[in-house]
Amino acid sequence: MATTYTGRYTAGLSWVLTKENDFGNTVQSNSFSYAKSIASGTGADQSNMIYIAQGSISASGTLALDLAGSLADVFGTTITFTKIKGVYFDLLTTPAAASSVDFGGAGSNTWVGFFGDATDVLTIRGGSNFSTYCPDATGYAVTAGTGDQLLLTNNDSSNAAHYKLAIVGVV
């Protein structure tokens, strides 16, 4: 029996600004939000697989993720992504949490994805998160053996990095 994936990607921010003036307070509030329903498939607004992980990276350690062949879904089936549509990474705040994790920049066979160059990294600070979603049919290509390595590097030499990670894509 085949596995199907459906989901919903959401992101948003709301705010309230208050400014005191001669006539009392002026309040301005609003929000930005983004939401996409994801159907099962390989086209626009579709994905057919998700990788989910929660774990730790030891102090000064790395975690290498092979997007085409070494990850497994929640049922234990090996995932070979051909394109990535979305990524969510949360560097959790815990007692003695890591100060930051570099996301990207594998030394070889680097998955370039949404980065401009194979050496680019995104530094996620402790207690922060990063997410992106690409709804088009193209996504970000994964090329098995030459462009499929995603590296996570814990920049803290004293504390483990505790994280949550989700990668949505097409196999």
- 44-60 pLDDT per residue, tens: 999 999 999 999 999 99
Angstrom distance (rounded) from CA 139 to CA 83: 6
Residue 94 belongs to some domain of the structure: yes
Strands 46-47 and 24-40: parallel
Q: What is the pLDDT of residue 21?
A: 79
Residues 6+ apart with CB under 8 A from 170: 42, 46, 47, 48, 49, 81, 82, 83, 85, 139
CB 83 within 8 Å of CB 113: no
CATH, residue 152: 2.60.120.770
Q: List the domain range (segments joined by +) for residue 75.
A: 45-170
Q: Is residue 55 part of a domain?
A: yes
pTM listed for this prediction: 0.91
Mean pLDDT for the stretch of residues 125-144: 95
Tens digit of pLDDT for each residue in 66-125?
999 899 999 999 999 999 999 999 999 777 788 899 999 998 999 999 999 999 999 999
Total of domains in the chain: 1
User: What is the average pLDDT value for the chain, to the nearest integer?
Assistant: 92
Percentage with pLDDT > 90 across the chain? 80
